[in-house]
Amino acid sequence: MDWLNYHHLHYFWVVAREGSVTRACEILHLSQPTISGQIRELEKAMKAPLFAKSGRGLTLTETGRAVFRYADDIFALGRELMDVVSGRPVGQPVRLRVGVVDVLPKLIAHMLLEPALRLPEPVRVVCVEGKLDRLAAELMIHNLDVVLSDTPLPPTVKAKVYTHLLGESGVVVVGVAKLVETYKAGFPKSLDGAPFLLPTEGTTLRRSLDQWFDAQGIRPTIRAEFEDSALLKTFGRAGEGLFAIPSAVEEDIRDHYGVRVIGVAHGMRERFYAISVERKLKHPAVVAISETARRSLTPLNGT
């Protein structure tokens, strides 16, 4: 049986947490050769490098990130053990590491994650934003517990993960009062030539909108395109153009950005997914997210 040297693991964990051997030396009151030697011993045991040089500093390798995650849990559990035997109150929060695809609307991400923060057992949510393929890679090496996305993982990305449909929402077109008053009559044909703010090409919502425009026989005037959905809404609040949003967060966006609904984009759907390495969701916070989403994300009647 292979035995793990927890002293070596602890030195590695402190270096990874602090970002440098020098800082770890100050905390551990050890010399740099001692710490470096202990980490080399751990790398031999793991049969893989844990750090890579990056300029004057160090970055974690893929194996290093996985080891750091486990070390974080191990030492958190150790602190809880000491609390128990010393009679101190315990209750370390459950950690939920979530990847959020960067094109997912921030209000949708909050709506999906909120149930995890309302569980009786405390949960600490750690959010990482990025492209779907990168987040899937992090999921595969267990750096993430779940990825929230507006699209399933494409077949071109080779990863042994499972996609769980959380629910869907209708889509509405909104804008400031002046634009709504100008273009409301005759909607959706009135959108022909109307100023519009769009997500960038390649996103799920952009493809759906382009198809919907074609089906309606309309060509809006595209004023700007955005990768960041929050920035798009900021321009919308300034009256630069109409824009489309999931109806599930319509009330929040109306209140926050001061816009009104001009009409429903009949036939359009925004779908939201949880991607995990598990065929059946097990993490209690992810289960809460899934169950609440399936109740709250319901299609609009007739859309």
- Decide which of 3.40.190.10, 3.40.50.970, 3.10.440.10, 3.30.530.20 is the CATH code for 171-268: 3.40.190.10
Strand-strand pairing, 146-149 and 51-54 = unpaired
What is the topology classification, in CATH, of domain 6-86? Arc Repressor Mutant, subunit A (1.10.10)
Strands, E assignment, 14-161: 51-54, 57-60, 94-101, 123-130, 146-149
Sign of the Cα torsion 132, 130, 147, 160 reads positive
Per domain, the residue ranges of the chain are 6-86, 96-162+275-296, 171-268
The overall pTM is greater than 0.85: no
The tokens describing 55, both together, are: 């300029």
pLDDT at 90: 52
pLDDT at 301: 37
Contact 83, 89 (CB under 8 A): yes
Mean pLDDT by 10 residues, the chain (303 residues): 81 87 87 91 91 80 89 81 59 82 90 90 89 86 88 76 89 96 96 96 90 96 93 95 94 92 93 88 86 72 38
CATH architecture of the domain formed by 96-162+275-296:
3-Layer(aba) Sandwich (3.40)
Domains 96-162+275-296 and 171-268 share a fold: yes
